[in-house]
Every structure is written in structure tokens, then in C-alpha cells.
Amino acid sequence: MSELDFTPDEMMTIAAARALKNTDVCFVGIGAPSAACNIARLTHAPDVTLIYESGTIGTAPTVLPLSIGDGELCETAVTTVSVPEMFRYWLQGGRVTVGFLGAAQIDRFGNINTTVIGDYDAPKTRLPGGGGAPEIASSCGEIFITLKQSKRAMVEKIDFFTSFGHGEGGDHRARLGITTKGPTLMVTDLAVWKADPETSEFTVVSLHPGVSRDMVQDTCGWTVRFADELSETPHPTEIELSTLRDLRARTKAAHSSGAKTGEAA
């Protein structure tokens, strides 16, 4: 792989990272959201404040955490508060501008399922659950979502409402008394989507390099809307790619070392 070649996953992570601003206070989900947020911090947004559910504020991990309880988060945080304080004062107090989430299932209006696949009482698959995501989805100023496209993940109707997006669309959030913006951006491995200001339906505004409309539609479970002025996502820069690859290499080395140490013990 040459220096400026990139994978769909790298394009997704970098495109998602670009959405964060230096002034953002961001509630970070584990996995793809964590990678995107930390790439933003290591490149164009060095002063972004990253918050994890365990109560770590202003964390700056050198490797990606395995979970919200990873010691790396506490060691590098500006401060660590109790979980009740995190949710009541910081999150519900309106002090978080962006929540960055992943999803097992999502629909066109940004409603997220991370609870079960299938019927709740007899599920095909039981997922990790909501954790703090339902509160993040309703209390953060706006929500960014990142996930890999597939018809299994992007569905016409989710099996369970874990985190409320725009419900039935339109002004459903406002009718329920939710004053925050909800999902405004979704970045996948194929495209950048934004919520329509009137219908609240996710609409493709940018295709990643080499991606066609058919590729997006073939991996989505609903009829995709494309913006009238559809653009191409800018290619990753040399700095963005090298930063992401270095972070992942450090993470792999750290976690592999920890596994070996655990086995020896």
C-alpha cells in the first residue's frame, strides 16, 4: 500500500474526524467514534475536549481504549468525575456540543438500535445495550454517527429503539419536548450523509472517492436520497493517513503486549 492509498475504513474515520471543531466538547463512543475523535484531536482540532462515559474529561489517550473503563483514559484526562456527575451536570446540563455514536442498526431518521436483533423477548442476537447512548442522543447539542454500510445495519425499521434520533421524521423531536438537534451527520465507509432540515431524513451529500450511487444504494435497506449537488469527499491527506496509521499501530502493539503479559501471569 503506497503512502496515499487508503482503505474505505480509513476514509470513513478521517471524514468523520473532520466534522469536529477545535471548540467542541465531545461525548465519545467506543470503537469507530473513538478513532475519529482522537484523529481530530491529533490533527486539526488539538483543543477539542473529549469526554468518555466513565467520567473522564479532556482525555488524550496515546492508544485507543478497549472500553470506557480503560485506564488509559483516566491517566491522560484533565479530570475524572463520578458517572452521576458526568450525566447530570455535564451531559444533561447542556455542556456537551457533540455526541459521537456508532450503531448496530439505524434507520433513515437516525434512530439507533444497540439492544437486540429480532424480537425483544426472543432475540436472534442480544447486543451490548444502550449504556449512556440514549441520554447522549437526547442531551448533546447534536449527534454524529459513524458505521460501515450494510443492509443488515441500515434498515427500513429498527428492531428496538435504543437511542432516539428523529423518530418518525420532521419535527418529532420537538413535539416530544427534546430541544437538541439530534443526529445531523452520518459518515459511512462509502459516503457522508446529513439530515434534511425539513424531513430529518439522512441524505447523501458526498460520495467517497471511487464510490458510485449504486454502491451506496446496494448496501442500504431503504431508498436512498441523494443531494441535488452531490460532491466527492476530499481524499485523506498524508498527515491524516499517517496519524491514523500510527495511532492504530500503537494501539495494536499496546493491546498485544497486554494480552501476552496477561497470558504469562
What is residue 194's three-state secondary structure?
strand
For the annotated catalytic residues, the residue numbers are 53
Residues 6+ apart with CB under 8 A from 207: 190, 191, 213, 216, 230, 231, 232, 233
Query: 181-201 burial by CB neighbour count: b if 16+ within 10 A, else e?
Result: ebbbbbbbbbbbbbbbeeebb
Cell numbers standing for residue 207: 460520495
Chain CA centroid to CA 103, Å = 8
Closest CA to 159 of 102, 105, 206: 105
Nearest to 215 by CA among 235, 191, 186, 195: 191
Kind of pairing, strands 191-195 and 183-187?
antiparallel
